[in-house]
Amino acid sequence: MTAMPSAQHYVRLSGEEFRSRLREALDIYVEAMRYPPGTAEQRAPMWLTHVLREGWRSVAALDDEGRLVGIAYGYRGKPGQWWHEQVRRGVVEREGEQTAATWLDDYFELTEIHVRPGAQGRGTGEDLLRMLLDGVPDSRVLLSTPEGDSRAWKLYRRVGFDDVLRQYRFTGDPRPFAVLGRALPLE
Please report, for the domain that includes residue 36, its CATH number.
3.40.630.30
Distance between CA atoms of residues 120 and 68, nearest Å:
13
pLDDT band at 34 (very low <50, low <70, confident <90, very high): confident
**Is 1 a member of any domain?**
no
pLDDT band at 7 (very low <50, low <70, confident <90, very high): low
As a whole number, mean pLDDT of residues 10-33 equals 96
Residues assigned a catalytic role: 156
As a whole number, mean pLDDT of residues 151-164 equals 95
- Across all residues in the chain, what is the average pLDDT? 94
3 state DSSP class of 41: helix
Residue type, 150: S
3 state DSSP class of 70: strand
What's residue 17's pLDDT? Answer: 98
**Is 124 a member of any domain?**
yes
**Is 141 a member of any domain?**
yes
**Is 133 a member of any domain?**
yes
**Is 74 a member of any domain?**
yes
**Is 4 a member of any domain?**
no
**Is 82 a member of any domain?**
yes
* Tally of structural domains, the chain: 1
pTM of the entire predicted model: 0.93
Residue range of the domain that includes 170 = 9-183
**Is 3 a member of any domain?**
no
pLDDT of 8 over the 90 cut: no
End-to-end CA distance of the chain: 34
Residues in the chain: 187
pLDDT of 2 over the 60 cut: no
